[in-house]
């Protein structure tokens, strides 16, 4: 890898030992993927937000960064908190949570605490190089915003944030952002989250191009999150909708490797068939935005939920929503509002296995969970859909 003079000086310790360690990490990372250089980034997003007691080496490095007085060089956001910090289990399992949050504050990281960092906080423009972790956020940055990032890991995100650089390879390069698999739709009733789950399973780590469909930004968010969970997809395109795919000719530079057709039966087969077993209902994974919460609010007006129900939202959206008339009507119906990660927070116990969610991402990650459409979840809540 070829470094410029400034990067060489950082690597050789002229900005301190910890900065040198961060640069060595990035250089080794880049060398492993045959990157030719490091590029400046405009933002970062950190995934390692859970204070799990077991990952001692992570805390040692964070502590060294803070002790050395290093700050992030670009706007940097961070993933959700794992759950209620006062809960007895979290006090033991997540006993490094307060240390992490204090450290992030000292480093200058924006305390958004959400996987949906792009919801008004960290919003790069098309073509901007960024260093994001968190698979659903990476999907959104690449696919919906047209920014450039790889699916980075914990520590690579931190090293990039404090140095301001990331190795240039993979999806940082235009030639690797071309479409590979064409996805055709034979669907009567769209469920974007389920569609993303199926695409992720079938294309694994390829770049799918979905034939034109008028997805909303919320639908793109939820579809991408599911795609990144069931597969390893970090970039998708939608013909005539996403920034890099004005038409099929623009995004395919050769014939598709494969044509994949998704049918209504594929979507329906993912849904649970028996809502009577449902024990609780969860909306929001990735975090719900204010737009999503407002969209759901009308269904709960004057109602009373029959099963424990919660919205998992970005902290900013939760704060605004719970003050609004709509939010107060939702909570009056018995809905709980949370701003933590549902996957980390909701441990499914024996005898309480049928939690229902409209998030195919949450369904994939959380054992014992059932999947349903938004309408299925509303019916399970006991409100009209």
Of the listed ranges 147-161, 210-224, 338-352, 358-372, the least confidently predicted one is 338-352
Run of H or E including 78: strand 76-78
Instruction: Establish whether domains 5-174 and 275-381 are of one fold.
Output: yes
- Reported as a pLDDT band with limits 50, 70 and 90, residue 85 is low
Query: Using CA atoms, how far apart are residues 272 and 373, in angstroms rounded to an integer?
Result: 9
pLDDT higher than 70, residue 138: yes
Query: What is the arithmetic mean of pLDDT over 119-125?
Result: 97
Question: Which top CATH class is 275-381?
Answer: alpha beta
CATH architecture type of domain 5-174:
2-Layer Sandwich (3.30)
pLDDT confidence band for 238 (50 / 70 / 90): very high
Cα distance between residue 350 and residue 368, in whole Å: 9
Which pLDDT belongs to residue 91?
63
The burial class, CB within 10 Å (0-12 / 13-18 / 19+), for 322 is middle
Nearest Cα residue to 150 out of 32, 59, 11, 21: 32
CB of 138 closer than 8 Å to CB of 119: no
Averaged pLDDT of the chain: 95
Closest to 283 in 3D by CA, of 229, 232, 218:
218
Q: What pLDDT, on a 0 to 100 scale, did the predictor assign at position 59? A: 95
Measured CA angle at 362 (ends 58, 240), to 5 deg? 100
Above 90 in pLDDT, residue 54? Answer: no
pLDDT at 88 over 70: no
Answer with the residue of higher pLDDT: 349 or 331: 331
What percent of the chain clears pLDDT 70, i.e. is strictly above it?
A: 96
For the chain, the helix, strand and coil percentages under 3-state DSSP, each to the nearest 5: 40, 15, 45
b/e burial code for range 138-172 (CB count within 10 A of at least 16 → b): bbbbbbbbbbbbbbbebbbbbbbbbbbbbbbbbbb
Give the CA-trace dihedral at 358, 360, 366, 372, to 10 degrees: 40
What is the rounded distance in angstroms from the CA atom of residue 54 to the CA atom of residue 105? 22
Instruction: Give pTM, 2 decimals.
Output: 0.95
Hey, what are 175's tokens?
A: 């030639």
How confident is the model over 95-116, as a mean pLDDT? 96
Q: For 361, how many CA atoms within 13 A lie in the half-sphere containing its CB?
A: 29
Mean pLDDT of 176-191: 98
User: Does pLDDT of 148 surpass 50?
Assistant: yes
Contact 181, 207 (CB under 8 A): yes
Tens digit of pLDDT for each residue in 268-301? 999 999 999 999 999 999 999 999 999 999 999 9
Partners of 148 in beta bridges: 129
Q: What is the pLDDT of residue 93?
A: 67
Q: Residues with Cβ < 8 Å from 267, sequence gap 6 or more?
A: 187, 189, 191, 194, 195, 198
The 10s digit of each residue's pLDDT in 31-48 is 999 999 999 999 999 999
| Separate counts of helices (H) and strands (E) for the chain | 17, 14
* Whole-number pLDDT of residue 208: 99
Q: Give kind and range of the element (H or E) at residue 331.
A: helix 325-332
Q: Residues 385, 275: contact at Cβ < 8 Å?
A: no
CA 82 to mean position of chain CA atoms: 14
Whether residue 254 is predicted with pLDDT greater than 60 in this model: the reply is yes
Sequence length of the chain is: 385
Q: Quote the pLDDT of residue 86.
A: 47
Domain boundaries, the chain: 5-174, 178-270, 275-381
């Amino acid at each position: 890898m070829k470094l410029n003079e400034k990067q060489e000086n950082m690597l050789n310790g002229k900005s301190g030992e910890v900065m040198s360690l961060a640069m060595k990490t990035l250089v080794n990372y880049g060398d492993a993927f045959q990157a030719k250089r490091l590029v400046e980034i405009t933002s970062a997003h950190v995934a390692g937000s859970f204070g799990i007691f077991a990952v001692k080496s992570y805390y040692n490095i964070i502590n060294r960064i803070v002790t050395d007085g290093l700050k992030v060089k670009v706007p940097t956001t961070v993933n959700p908190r794992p759950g209620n910090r006062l809960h007895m289990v979290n006090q033991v399992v997540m006993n490094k949570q307060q240390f992490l949050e204090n450290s992030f504050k000292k480093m200058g990281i924006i305390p958004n605490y959400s996987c949906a960092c792009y919801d008004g906080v960290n919003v790069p423009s098309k073509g901007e190089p960024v260093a994001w972790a968190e698979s659903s956020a990476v999907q959104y940055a690449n696919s919906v915003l047209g920014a450039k990032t790889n699916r980075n890991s914990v520590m690579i995100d931190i090293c990039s944030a404090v140095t301001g650089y990331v190795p240039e390879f993979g999806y940082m390069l235009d030639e690797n952002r071309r479409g590979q698999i064409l996805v055709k739709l034979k669907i009567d009733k769209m469920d974007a989250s389920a569609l993303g789950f199926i695409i992720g399973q079938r294309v694994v780590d390829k770049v799918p191009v979905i034939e034109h469909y008028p997805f909303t930004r919320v639908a793109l968010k939820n579809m991408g999150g599911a795609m990144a969970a069931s597969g390893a997809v970090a970039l998708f395109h939608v013909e005539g909708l996403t920034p890099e795919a004005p038409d099929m000719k623009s995004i395919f530079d050769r014939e598709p490797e494969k044509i994949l057709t998704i049918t209504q039966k594929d979507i329906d087969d993912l849904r649970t068939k028996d809502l009577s077993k449902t024990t609780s209902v969860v909306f929001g994974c990735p975090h719900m935005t204010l737009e999503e919460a407002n969209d759901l609010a009308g269904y709960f007006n004057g109602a009373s939920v029959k099963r424990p129900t919660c919205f998992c939202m970005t902290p900013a959206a939760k704060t605004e929503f719970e003050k609004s008339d709509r939010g107060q009507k939702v909570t009056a119906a018995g809905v709980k509002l949370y701003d933590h990660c549902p996957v980390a927070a909701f441990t499914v116990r024996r005898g309480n296995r049928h939690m229902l969610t409209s998030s195919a991402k949450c369904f994939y990650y959380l054992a014992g969970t059932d999947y349903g459409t938004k309408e299925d979840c509303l019916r399970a809540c006991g409100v009209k859909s």
